[in-house]
Structure 1
Amino acid sequence: MLRRLTTSTKESFRLLPEYKFKCGVEIHTQLKTKYKLFSLSQTGFNDNSNTKVSYFDLGLPGTQPKLNPEALYLALKACVALNMKIQPFSKFDRKHYFYPDQPLGYQITQHFQPLGKDGVLELSEFDNASGKIAIETVQLEQDTGKKFGDVIDYNRAGTPLIEVVTKPDFQDINQVYAFIKKYQLLVRHLGICSGDLETGAIRVDVNLSVNDNPRVELKNLGTTGDIVNALKYEYTEQVESLRSGKEIAQETKSWDGYTTKSSRSKENAIDYRYVPDSELPAINLNPDIGDEIKAAIPEYPDQLLSRLTSKPYNLQLAHAKNLLVEPEHLHYYETFFDKFNHPDANKWMFQELITAFAKLDKEFDVNVISPDVLVEVARSDYSLVSKRLILRHLVENQVSLEKAIADLNLASDSQAIDINELCREIIKLNPDVVKRIQDGHNNAIQVLVGKAMKVTRGKVHAKEIKNAFDSLL
């Protein structure tokens, strides 16, 4: 019977000191380029099948590869970000295997002389983990096609990849999870890759061994949740095998969401018959190129998180990480913060502005309400309820601030705002008072009336306001 990783086993899982967990990861990362690695076909991820292919992508005889310099630059950028030693001389090799998604009959990669060697990525307080993870190599290579049942889509064939190979430095599963999340944030922030696991832009294989027995490679891990659960399951499987006196076989396994299943025995390098590529020249680099790229790179995520969570910003870590994922949002926030220069700046950005979008089930769009308009709303003399009504109106109707104020009848002291809309907003903001009213404490409605009177500055009769509340409640 297959043993499934249930909620209870997930919660009770723990590493056993007498069974040492040892893990390394291989991360295949699609580079964010316009064209493929060795052809002028455009990269496309959601296009109709086989619409982004050239003769070379399909392996037609007589076609030759030509290296895309943009892909090389992004690969070098990744090397710098991962503290790699960039090799002044690197070259391409052919990794032979026959499979329908690989029309050339081989994959062009960098097995013998890769672009980068001997790097390290350190986990910090921002990752909820610690430790230095050594990185063996960064190789520039091409992606394969993708099989859908009986159909093979070659749109992905030839898409530029880097393969990042770590040493088996992971001593627990939390480190693996933290490393992958940190890597995602790093390549996304620096514009190297979209950073998505779900779309296949990042694909992770993990190699696990227990007590230095032969390692098992786990493939087909689509999310960080899959990676964590597959490692828990496989570790438990290997521990049980060792306890029962069985030997661990070196093999490759897949993950179906519940169990790991054997796919094939693990190949060695000799099985792929690596040979130097005869059609691609070697890559010769200036020894100072790493320093030049590093000088052009903006703040690293850790530096940016440290700045945003410190004075004067004092952002929550979760908010800071969200801003890193969306560069436009980060620029908006920093612009607004500099202009507003008020202790409530974070409140206006995250509790008021973004909430106004969320209440209308809309994604935050930096073009709808400019930082200047948000500053003007925040500094206005209107009550908080009125300001929220203005933000909601701006998001919903995408009009100017002046028109929003006029539409809501806030422009003139002699005019009243929409009483029903005002009362609805006050009801949303005071659920505890509403519950008291619903529980039979009828006089509690006067609390809501008082709040509405304060907003309207006494220019609307209390009876009219009470009638609106009675109707709405």
Structure 2
Amino acid sequence: MWRAKRLYHVSVPPISQFKPLPQFKLKCGLEIHTQLNTKNKLFSRSVNDPFRSADTPNLHTTFFDLALPGTQPLLNYEAILYAAKLALSLESNVNLNSQFDRKHYFYGDQPLGYQITQHFSPFASGGQLSLLQDIDDIDEKVKDIRITQLQIEQDTGKSLYRKCDLVTLIDLNRSNVPLVELVTEPDFENLKQIKAFLKKYQNLVRHLGVSTGDLESGAMRVDVNLSINDHARVELKNLPNTSSIMNAIKYEYQRQITIMRNGKAEEMLSKAETRGWTGSSTVKLRNKETTIDYRYMPDPELPRVALSPDVITNIQKTMPPLPDEVLQGFVSAPYFLSLKDAKILCLSSNGQGEIYNHAELQNYYVETFKFFVDGIKSRAAKMRSQTSKLPTNWIIHELLGDLNKLQLPLSKLAAYLTPRVFADFLMLIHDAKISSSSGKLLLFHILKNFQESNYDISKPVDFDSLIDEYDMRLIKHIDSSELKQICRDIIGGLNNEKLINDLVSGKKRNSIKYLVGQGMKLSQGRIQAQQFEKTFKEILNVKW
């Protein structure tokens, strides 16, 4: 017993420090089940809303979802459209004559006794999703992940185990929700590639509008197939989120290395098996010594899905630019965003779904940018190039920060503080009517009042009245002697000779920002920061 425990003691490094060893080659493939957010379910007219109805079991079900005798499936063609969009975005070959098959097994949450899926002739095959070093944060310059196939199938219901009275409850709200199962080739060689792929695929389905892509809610569910040094494949199931996927792979990799180093590889890694994830370790669920006989057969109640080539051509015409293409557009003219800022606009964040989505944020930014640039067309070209950064800084950093702080949805705000109105706000800063610090206070005040008014859009924003009410207008012409006296008083009140010496010597040049900040605070943001910086340098005789 002591030797067996020693064999399975697995030392697992943190994910950030985890790298596959050259002598133990990791090879992974993914199976991703993605729920399509169609209005109705796949083979019935039930409302497709499995998560919002979670508190009311079996709310959105029809006779077919419940598998009552005599009921028949009726294909929802919206699911075909969504699957086609996804297949085309992955450069897959759409099968113009696919079919649905029955996969027979009985379980409580699958009352039909079979699952309708695609086994013999799936919807699409081939294709790839390319990972790029600068965009996706992988070690390789480019990594192409090949797609084996995409198939359409129905989701199962949900079993809820109640331990207190040993009862299993069945909720069929999720039953018959349309899924696309994506199967990749075993092209992944490290965790960075897997994490990047999941994030990119998640963003893709959101960008296309075919799924929420949320792992935590179960709208996207992932199984991992992995092998080490070409031993038998191990399938990891029940992985609820990205961290679980990463930790399960890392643990299983270390577990198999431990087995190999103990000379047990041929005995213990020669048979394919399925393992689950407990949250801290993988556990054996079953061997795959023989293929389970699902008794696949073409579904006799569903005709083949026959598509005209014109259908695919027309869908291609309606496809939006893909995320990488959109991102490249934002880092180029006329926006010239940094890659970091462009990613904020282009990559959907799981935690921000209730505040904004990337499509509405992109639209708000582009429209604001257009109105703002139109407003400064009469300025010199040099001035235009400098001030074109204002929409970026104020939308991506200030506005989003305030929206998150207040939990205020952008969709509601955009009807009140429209892109044209926000561009007018930016012009106040551009024209030096208010300082940036005053602008931050004013913006937050406007957002908070809008929220407290219960999103009342009837009264337009009056910037001039608010600026006068709170005495925010910049003092453009201040007597130089008066400004010098203010700066001397700030320096004299510091009682920090070291800070001044380090500043003058150039050892700590950023200390000038501290002095400017004190000046802005004292003047309540009504004197420009540049004026303070120039005066401080003049008084201290700063040469750098």
Report what 1:469 is aligned to. none
Separation (CA, whole Å) in 2 of partners of 1:328 and 1:18: 48
SS in 2 for 1:411: helix
Deviates more, 1:287-296 or 1:448-457: 448-457
Corresponding residue to 1:215 among 233, 254, 259: 233
For 1:295-314, list aligned pairs within 5 A: 295-314=317-336
Change (3 A) 1:439 1:253: farther
Say if 1:97 and 1:382 are closer, same or farther in 2 by CA, change over 3 A.
Answer: same
In the alignment, structure 1 residue 262 sits paired with structure 2 residue 322? no
Contact 2:520 2:526 in 1 (8 A): no
Tell me if structure 1 keeps the 8 A contact 2:84–2:312.
yes
| Alignment partner, residue 15 of structure 1 | 20
Give aligned pairs, total: 437
- Any residues of structure 2 matched to 1:246-257 within 5 Å, and which? 246=264, 247-248=268-269, 249-257=271-279
| 173, 181, 195: which one aligns with 2:199 | 181
| 1:357 Cα deviation after fit | 3.1
Shift of 1:4: 6.8
Aligned to 1:337: 369
Percent identity (aligned): 43
Amino acid at match of 2:136: D
- Contact kept, 8 Å, 2:225 with 2:235, in 1: the verdict is yes
| Mapping for residues 113-128 of structure 1, pairs under 5 Å | 113-125=121-133, 126-128=135-137
Q: C-alpha distance in 1, partners of 2:196/2:517?
A: 48
Contact 1:3 1:259 in 2 (8 A): no
CA shift digits 1:137-169 (9 cap, x unpaired) = 111100000112122110000000011111111
Q: What is the alpha-carbon distance in structure 1 between the residues aligned to residue 184 and residue 516 of structure 2?
A: 65
Q: CA deviation at 1:345?
A: 2.1
Whether the 8 Å CA contact 2:417–2:461 is kept in 1: the answer is no
Which residue matches 2:147? 135
Change in CA separation of 1:5 and 1:27 when aligned onto 2, cut-off 3 Å = farther
Partner of 1:453 in structure 2?
523
The alignment status of 1:370 with 2:370, answered yes or no, reads: no
Cα distance change on mapping 1:219 and 1:447 into 2, 3 Å: closer
Does the CA-based 8 Å contact 1:368-1:394 persist in structure 2? Answer: no
Residues 315 and 346, structure 1, Cα contact 8 Å, conserved in 2: yes
1:78 matched residue in structure 2: 86
2:360 counterpart residue number: 328
Structure 2, unaligned runs of 5 or more:
162-167, 349-356, 374-387, 451-456, 474-489, 499-513, 529-544
Deviates more, 1:80-89 or 1:242-251: 242-251
Partner of 2:170: 152
* Cα distance, 1:271 vs structure 2: 2.1
Asked if 2 retains the 8 angstrom alpha-carbon contact of 1:394 and 1:401, the reply is no
Determine the structure 2 residue equivalent to 1:390: 442
Structure 1 residue 275, shift from structure 2 partner? 1.2
- Paired AA for residue 286 in structure 1: S
The alpha carbon displacement at 1:353 in A equals: 2.3
Cα distance in 1 for partners of 2:222, 2:515 equals: 58
* Native 8 Å contact 2:369 2:423 kept in 1: no
Bigger drift between 343-352 and 274-283 goes to 343-352
8 Å CA contact retained: 1:4, 1:259: no
Q: CA deviation at 1:180?
A: 1.2
Tell me if 1:172 matches 2:190.
yes
> Structure 2: how far apart are the matches of 1:437 and 1:138?
67
Could you tell me how far apart the structure 2 residues matched to 1:363 and 1:402 are?
18
Task: Report the AA paired with residue 203 of structure 1.
Answer: R
Task: Give the secondary structure class of the aligned counterpart of 1:217.
Answer: strand
- Aligned with 1:66: secondary structure? coil
Q: Is the 8 A contact 2:31 2:222 kept in 1?
A: yes
Q: Deviations over 1:66-117 (max 9, x none)?
A: 1001011111111111111111211111111111111101100000001101
Asked whether the 8 Å contact 1:49–1:155 carries over to 2, the reply is: yes
For residue 277 of structure 1, the aligned residue among 299, 302, 325 is: 299
Q: Is the 8 A contact 1:329 1:366 kept in 2?
A: no
Match for residue 46 of structure 1?
Answer: 52
> Partner of 1:141: helix, strand, or coil?
strand
Gap change, CA 1:456 and 1:180, over 3 Å in 2: closer
Give the Å deviation of 1:311: 2.7
Tell me how far apart the structure 2 counterparts of residues 337 and 64 of structure 1 sit (CA, whole Å).
Answer: 53
Moved more, 268-277 or 281-290: 268-277
Distance 1:63 1:268, change over 3 A: farther
| TM-aligned CA distance change 1:220 to 1:437, over 3 Å | farther
The answer to whether 1:37 aligns with 2:42 is yes
1:356 Cα deviation after fit: 3.3
Pick aligned residue for 1:232 from 250, 261, 267:
250
CA distance in 2, matches of 1:80, 1:356: 38
Partner Cα distance (1:22, 1:446) in 2: 56
Is the Cα contact below 8 Å between 2:344 and 2:396 reproduced in 1?
no
> Counterpart of 1:354 in structure 2: which amino acid?
L
Secondary structure of residue in 1 paired with 2:194: helix
Partner Cα distance (1:68, 1:13) in 2: 44
CA distance in 1, matches of 2:289, 2:362: 45
- Give secondary structure in 2 for the equivalent of 1:100: coil
Matched AA of 1:214: A
Aligned pair in 2 of structure 1 residues 457, 205: CA closer, same or farther (>3 Å)? Answer: closer
Aligned partner of 2:532 in structure 1 is none
Name which of structure 1's ranges 241-250 and 16-25 shifts more when overlaid on structure 2. 241-250
Q: Is the 8 A contact 1:5 1:229 kept in 2?
A: no
CA drift at 1:203: 0.4
Call closer, same or farther: CA 1:207–1:314 in 2, change over 3 Å. same
- Distance across 2 between alignment mates of 1:116 and 1:54: 29
Work out which of the residue numbers 55, 64, 80 in structure 2 matches 1:56: 64
Does the Cα contact within 8 Å between 1:96 and 1:107 map onto a contact in 2?
Answer: yes
TM-fit CA distance, 1:21 = 0.9
Choose from 354, 377, 386 the match for 2:400.
354
Which amino acid counterpart does residue 333 of structure 1 have in structure 2?
Y
Deviations 1:219-255 (A, max 9, x none): 1111111111111110111111122222313111111
In the TM superposition, residue 11 of structure 1 has moved relative to its aligned partner by 4.5
